Amino acid sequence: MNLQNLPGQPHFAYRGDALYAENVALAALAQEHATPLFVYSKASMLAALAAYQRGFAGRNAQICYAMKANPALGVIQVFVQAGCGFDIVSGGELERVLAAGADARKIIFSGVGKTRAEMCRALDVGIGCFNVESEAELEVLNEVAQSCGKRAPVSIRVNPNVDPKTHPYISTGLKGNKFGVAHERVVATYQRAHALAGLQVVGIDCHIGSQITQEGPYLDSVDRMLDLVEAIEAAGIPIHHIDFGGGLGINYDGDEPPKADALWAKLLAKLDARGFGARQLMIEPGRSLVGNAGVCVTEVLYLKPGEQKNFLIIDAAMNDLPRPALYQAFHEIVPLRPRAEATATTWEVVGPVCESGDWIGHERVLAVQPGDLLAVLSAGAYCMSMASNYNSRGRAAEILVDGSQAYVIRQRETIEDQMRAERLPYPTV
Ligand code: LLP
């Protein structure tokens, strides 16, 4: 790999032989804040957002950041200040976006298992839309809204039965998935929603999967959605907005997903051709806004050459970077300061967690010594958000870089933090 150009991460680059995030050397951050350490580039997030904004220029569109990708308050605040709305999936996510200053009216609430308490709180703060995922949820939301004297704004999440051609765990719009209301039940579900006094139909929603790298599934789902909007409106129920979900992929391993602006030019041409170009549009991108805006800096602890495999043991593990263990995902791994003199070896890059599933990279060719620092790339999405305390490891610190400034947006979790909510049942002796 050409070390001058990190794949898809233009705001992370080598200057001389040191890797920088914008104008800040990653090694200096590691020295000050220790490792493992997540470092995010604000400029990279804004550049990713700008691609969508260019795509929607002159349109009536709302970009709702799917904050599950990276829910750090400091990251959410970047998107609040950029005018985004938010796609949330839990009461916890609701409190986070509110704490970061989001406008409640720009919040949409997705998810198959919303509780009554979550619905109640979301109604209280006045969110923009509930993306309802089943007929049963519709009835409960109606009850909850009526009991607090409100009308809940709703979209029905449609399962368009489109194959997003991605990892099965992150496909969501196929018939066998738990998400959304089946295509053939949609009109009847809208008729029911329209008849319930506690609900107000405002839109329609879909989300077909994640890390989608082809345009075909999007083009297919647009057609299916528009067919449904026509059928629902023919039944006398106006649809104010159309939400096409998120899912656009990023470059992890030479992937070449469509660019957000180019994709939307095509999708909008389809909408225009069918007379829906002036409709309010919503999208829920997560990964494509933050994935390539982050890296995880980690230190080489030990080299353990072996007969069959050579193990390179780093201080980041599956609890920090769960995607390889969960989805066999590929994350590029590069040195912060490449060694010219050392000969490269092929390594299994693994963490300290006590499981063979704790691997970060297979068969990586790296010239390294203990104490060297590495960066695991494209770690801005679904890494810290899925991090755990497995093996009682504290979660990493997070830094937001803005030009030459580096802000600590999350301190490293201490063991006291981890034990705070726990109680010993018996006196200690
Ligand atoms: N909207 C809904 C309703 C979703 O369920 C998701 C993601 C998104 C939007 C955002 O999708 P994105 O633009 O980020 O692809 N942990 C997995 C990804 C799970 C995605 C879940 N839903 C991974 O690490 O690949």
d(C-alpha 102, C-alpha 338), whole Å:
41
87 lines ligand 1 (CB under 6 A): yes
390 in Cβ contact with 398 (< 8 Å): no
- Asked whether residue 6 carries a pLDDT value surpassing 90, the answer given is no
Contacts 24+ apart (CB under 8 A), 15-22: 17/337, 17/338, 18/336, 18/337, 19/334, 19/335, 19/336, 19/337, 19/375, 21/295, 21/401, 22/401, 22/402, 22/403, 22/404
Q: pLDDT tens, 28-60? A: 999 999 999 999 999 999 999 999 999 999 999
106 lines ligand 1 (CB under 6 A): no
Query: Angle at which helices 260-273 and 42-55 pack, to 10 degrees?
Result: 20
What's the 67 CA to ligand 1 centre distance in angstroms?
9
271 lines ligand 1 (CB under 6 A): no
Q: pLDDT tens, 63-73? A: 999 999 999 99
d(C-alpha 110, C-alpha 203), whole Å:
13
Which atom of ligand 1 lies nearest, measured to the CA of 284? 9
Catalytic positions, written as ranges: 354
Ligand 1 atom 16, closest CA: 382
What's the 181 CA to ligand 1 centre distance in angstroms?
18
d(C-alpha 109, C-alpha 107), whole Å:
7
Residue 378's pLDDT is what? 97
Model-level pTM? 0.96
Residue 2's pLDDT is what? 43
Q: pLDDT tens, 205-246? A: 999 999 999 999 999 999 999 999 999 999 999 999 999 999
384 lines ligand 1 (CB under 6 A): no
Lowest mean pLDDT segment, chosen from 55-69, 126-140, 163-177, 409-423: 163-177
Sign of CA dihedral 320, 325, 331, 337: positive
Which atom of ligand 1 lies nearest, measured to the CA of 288? 13
Q: Which amino acid is at 127?
A: I
Four-CA torsion 399, 371, 392, 118, nearest 10 degrees: 20
Give the domains, in start order, of the chain with CATH numbers: 4-41+291-419 (2.40.37.10), 110-285 (3.20.20.10)
What's the 97 CA to ligand 1 centre distance in angstroms?
17
What's the 31 CA to ligand 1 centre distance in angstroms?
33
110 lines ligand 1 (CB under 6 A): yes
What mean pLDDT is predicted for residues 296-311? 97
Residue 343's pLDDT is what? 83
207 lines ligand 1 (CB under 6 A): yes
Is 425 strand, coil or helix? coil
Ligand 1 atom 7, closest CA: 210
Residue 429 is classified by DSSP as -
Percent of the chain residues past pLDDT 90, beyond the cut: 90
Q: Report the DSSP beta bridge partners of residue 66.
A: 87
Out of 49, 63, 68, 385, give the residue to mutate to test ligand 1, the one with the largest number of ligand atoms within 8 Å of its CB. Answer: 68
What's the 85 CA to ligand 1 centre distance in angstroms?
16
180 lines ligand 1 (CB under 6 A): no
Ligand 1 atom 22, closest CA: 210
d(C-alpha 188, C-alpha 135), whole Å:
10
DSSP letter for each residue of 148-196? TT--EEEEEEEE------S-GGGB-SSTTSSSSEEGGGHHHHHHHHHH-
Residue 369 is classified by DSSP as -
Q: Report the DSSP beta bridge partners of residue 155.
A: 131, 203
Instruction: Show the CA angle centred on residue 304, arms to residues 301 and 309, nearest 5°.
Output: 130
Residues 6+ positions from 372 with CB-CB distance below 8 Å: 299, 300, 335, 336, 337, 339
